[in-house]
Structure 1
């Protein structure tokens, strides 16, 4: 009988993981997306469900009812609540649980980072210091910057903010990465950006803006990641595949690493 793997997804890593695990004959893959974006990164293989579970209790009930044999949390590094819920539910149901968390970016020579712990701290860091800001934090936290009337914002997000959400003055760009270094340089020049606000998401898809800022001497207000549960974790898809193989022992079919 096949084992069932639940992947909490919505990221490129989660979609890649689902595709690779689906090649394993002994595993049935179920990917769960929160449904917060209008065009999510939907895996092309396996079963896909969209929507929340109803907290840790709802996720635990899903793990029991399905039933789920393994759980891999491959959500965005800033999806703190679902990761916390996953840790609680997996422990309650005694389901082997792994977090796939890509490495965060680290400042290198030439970077001018202002590291802050939250979006509210990022807004405070801008006040009186910046005039034209590239805000690359997604749509859900735009309201934190709505009161900064002295600043013009270029806001980039995958989807527009919800109706009646207060947003700062400026221009909204709807786009999904990856973004090229040439395009990011052009964007900063065209809109005369003097500061960038970014989450420390890690990965390559949106790192070009950090490189462009370094080259142009533009400071970056970098929002640090929230704390994550103290559970077993890996930094890439290959590590997650290796973990899954270990859960099966040596009896898992070949072809897992193709």
Structure 2
């Protein structure tokens, strides 16, 4: 069952939109946070520091607290272990999971990669496999849905364990066509539960029938089941900046 997002926001979690600022060279300044509790956060920061988007100065920053989160124009939730991130961040006065939920519900850009996709999905299930490795059923995930703000159903570790990690190329005809994708204990998007969700990428895997959804967006939320930060192709990072963060910042410009 999906976890309903609360509309009651504690005062310390309320994200106040930052006004867009311009530097001395008239470039728009944007702060892009990367959740740095666990996982591949440093790799995302490195990619962000390499991006060259005309008229935009990007400041990547590691985020570990709600205060650091609310100082950002957008946030990346990196790949790693979704249950570990939930355990590390849950509870206390500085509940970053609740902060992320309210950050997303406020309309600020959020991108989840791999484990981040699991954290953002409204419905999460666990895949079961028979002796040959084939998926035979889906059961409710015992870890629940920590953030639960996107209308998708995701299966944890859908493609198998670490040994089943693989690389693929996003299918032709997709927004992310030909993008190289690294899948490490990766989830899969099984269902799209709203007309507001747009599929951005699919792959074909020899062990599964038909195309598998691996990237999607809904309003201010982007998810990828793969790790764009682990390749030299920066298409998805550029897309997140151009299509999500820069428009958000410009809308809030004073």
Q: Give the TM-score category using the shorter length.
A: 0.3 to 0.5
More strand by share: 2
More helix by share: 1
Return the TM-score normalized by structure 1: 0.36
Which structure has the larger Rg over C-alpha atoms? 1
